[in-house]
């Protein structure tokens, strides 16, 4: 029973962070054009939004400013000309973010009527069933696990999903790459997820002593939860092996936490672009039959920096475009691994791979330069 409760709580957290961070991107690309909104619904949505912000947003003073701004705009009839639901949601999102600078804050629409729950944090049985099926279908975020040329491990991770449901998949992925000389995590298309999955995967990268990764402060209850590695959960350890993380502007939320944690612990080299800048976890609140909002109810606190990456993102050690990040990290990893190889034939083989990769990177840079010349 305790395990089931833990899964339900974890599911609610991920529904708030992981699913929102990723599915909303699809919703923006494919707006619900046939869903309309009238003045009555607008009033209902704005009033509920203002109330939920005041009661739940992690920074009370900022919440007060956002709430007052939204209510004043409603009174001035600023939304009266908007009839499309998706456009209305985007407008509310823009107004909240203009004040808070919080990219997690977002109103979204749903073509499916949203259920009214007795307790907001408890998903319905049907939601749990659909969510578990979804996680299984996306292989718990593991899109590709591969051994690259030169014995470099590669994991294309699209999300940090439920740590209990995805534990076996994590184990199989890490076991497969146990004999590689270095490890590359590709988070360029990772929109976030569960901090507990961040901690689980991180457990494979350190030794037998627990490491404090991050803390989350929650406004409700004024409590702080600490997240540590759990060495006993990792049957193989990559301690002593180089770790690289690929990032892009799309890398967000828990994916940023993973990058931020390992960067500050000097455990990984970040290669790519500065990340999106979302460090406030939270949950989804129902506003009306077809409207909900993600509200940041907490904030991350690094045990090292005593702050987080909100609004700034995680800056890479090696700044390159997202398209060049993988080859760049691969070359760096191979050059470091080359120093520990004595076999002449193996050494020559890796040198050839490095040479080829560098030539490809050079051609890629030349191609970008040529396109730039044509444009300008």
Residue 9 lies in a domain: no
Q: Is 352 found in the same domain as 278?
A: no
Tokens of 36: 């309309």
Tokens of 157: 């991770």
244 forms beta bridges with 184, 269
H or E stretch at 206: none
Residue 117 lies in a domain: no
Q: Is 281 found in the same domain as 231?
A: yes
Residue 332 lies in a domain: no
Tokens of 162: 């439920």
Residue 311 lies in a domain: yes
Closest CA to 193 of 224, 168, 162: 162
Closest CA to 334 of 321, 323, 346, 345: 346
Q: Which residues contact 179 (CB under 8 A, 6 or more apart)?
A: 151
Helix (H, G, I), strand (E, B) or coil at 228: strand
What's the rounded Cα separation, in Å, for the pair 266 and 120? 39
In terms of C-beta density within 10 A (0-12 exposed, 13-18 middle, 19 or more buried), how is residue 84 classed? middle
> Which CATH number covers residue 238?
3.90.226.10
Tell me what pLDDT residue 240 has: 94
Q: Is 159 found in the same domain as 288?
A: yes
Q: Is 207 found in the same domain as 346?
A: no
Q: Is 285 found in the same domain as 232?
A: yes
Please tell me the number of Cα atoms within 13 Å of 269 on its side-chain side. 20
* 8-state DSSP, 114: P
Residue with tokens 């997202």: 322
What is the domain extent for residue 289? 142-322
Residue 214 lies in a domain: yes
Q: Is 265 found in the same domain as 238?
A: yes
Residue 38 lies in a domain: no
Q: What is the mean pLDDT of each run of 10 residues along the chain (376 residues)?
A: 39 39 35 79 98 97 98 97 96 98 95 80 81 96 97 98 97 98 98 97 98 97 97 96 98 97 98 97 94 97 97 97 97 94 92 94 64 36
What's the rounded Cα separation, in Å, for the pair 346 and 352? 10
Q: Is 367 found in the same domain as 292?
A: no
Residue 295 lies in a domain: yes
Q: How many domains does the chain have?
A: 2
228 forms beta bridges with 212
Q: Is 348 found in the same domain as 293?
A: no
Tell me what pLDDT residue 127 has: 83
Q: Which residues contact 357 (CB under 8 A, 6 or more apart)?
A: 327, 330, 331, 334
Tell me what pLDDT residue 115 has: 85
Q: Is 297 found in the same domain as 184?
A: yes
Alpha helices in the chain (DSSP H): 2-14, 20-29, 39-56, 60-75, 85-100, 125-137, 167-176, 195-202, 254-264, 322-338, 344-375
What does residue 166 show for φ and ψ, rounded to 5 degrees?
-100, 5
Q: Is 303 found in the same domain as 371?
A: no
Tell me what pLDDT residue 188 has: 98
Q: Which residues contact 89 (CB under 8 A, 6 or more apart)?
A: 107, 108, 109, 291
Closest CA to 245 of 225, 228, 216, 265: 265
| pTM as predicted | 0.85
Residue 127 lies in a domain: no
Query: What is the secondary structure of 306-366 as a DSSP string?
Result: SS--TTT-PPPSEE--HHHHHHHHHHHHHHHHHTT---HHHHHHHHHHHHHHHHHHHHHHH
Tell me what pLDDT residue 11 has: 40
* Long-range Cβ contacts of 172-179 (<8 Å, 24+ apart): 173/142, 173/145, 174/201, 174/204, 174/234, 174/236, 174/238, 175/235, 175/236, 176/145, 176/147, 177/145, 177/147, 177/153, 178/236, 178/238, 179/151
Q: Is 357 found in the same domain as 232?
A: no
What's the rounded Cα separation, in Å, for the pair 162 and 196? 8
What does residue 35 show for φ and ψ, rounded to 5 degrees?
-95, 120
Q: Is 346 found in the same domain as 317?
A: no
Q: Are strands 182-186 and 242-247 parallel, antiparallel or unpaired?
A: parallel
């Amino acid at each position: 029973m305790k395990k089931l409760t833990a899964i339900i709580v974890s599911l609610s957290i991920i529904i708030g962070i992981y699913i929102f961070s990723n599915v909303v991107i699809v919703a923006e690309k494919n707006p619900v054009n046939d869903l309309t909104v009238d003045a009555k619904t607008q009033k209902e949505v704005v009033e509920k939004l203002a109330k939920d912000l005041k009661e739940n947003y992690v920074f009370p003073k900022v919440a007060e400013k956002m709430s007052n701004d939204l209510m004043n705009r409603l009174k001035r009839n600023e939304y009266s000309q908007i009839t499309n639901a998706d456009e209305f949601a985007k407008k509310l999102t823009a107004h909240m973010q203009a004040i808070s600078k919080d990219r997690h804050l977002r109103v979204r629409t749903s073509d499916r009527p949203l259920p009214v729950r007795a307790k907001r944090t408890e998903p319905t049985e049907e939601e749990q069933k659909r969510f578990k099926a979804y996680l299984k279908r996306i292989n718990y975020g593991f899109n590709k696990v591969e051994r690259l040329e030169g014995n470099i491990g590669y994991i294309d991770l699209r999300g940090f999903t439920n740590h209990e449901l995805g534990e076996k998949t994590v184990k199989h992925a890490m076991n497969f790459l146990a004999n590689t000389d270095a490890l590359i995590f590709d988070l360029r298309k990772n929109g976030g997820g569960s901090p507990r999955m961040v901690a689980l995967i991180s457990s494979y990268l350190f030794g037998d002593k627990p490491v404090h990764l991050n803390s989350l402060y929650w406004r409700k209850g004024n409590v702080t939860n600490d997240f540590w590695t759990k060495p006993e959960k990792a049957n193989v350890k990559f301690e002593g092996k180089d770790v690289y993380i690929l990032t892009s502007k799309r890398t967000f939320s828990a994916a940023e936490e993973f990058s931020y944690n390992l960067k500050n612990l000097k455990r990984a080299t970040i290669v790519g672009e500065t990340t999106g800048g979302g460090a406030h976890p939270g949950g989804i609140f129902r506003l009306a039959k077809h409207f909900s909002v993600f509200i940041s109810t907490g904030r991350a606190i690094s045990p090292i920096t005593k702050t987080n990456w909100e609004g700034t993102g995680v800056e890479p050690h090696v700044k390159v475009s997202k398209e060049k990040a993988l080859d760049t990290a691969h070359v760096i990893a191979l050059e470091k691994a080359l120093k520990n190889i004595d076999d002449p034939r193996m050494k020559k083989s890796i040198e050839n791979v490095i040479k080829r990769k560098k030539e490809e990177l050079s051609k890629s840079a030349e191609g970008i330069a040529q396109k730039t010349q044509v444009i300008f």
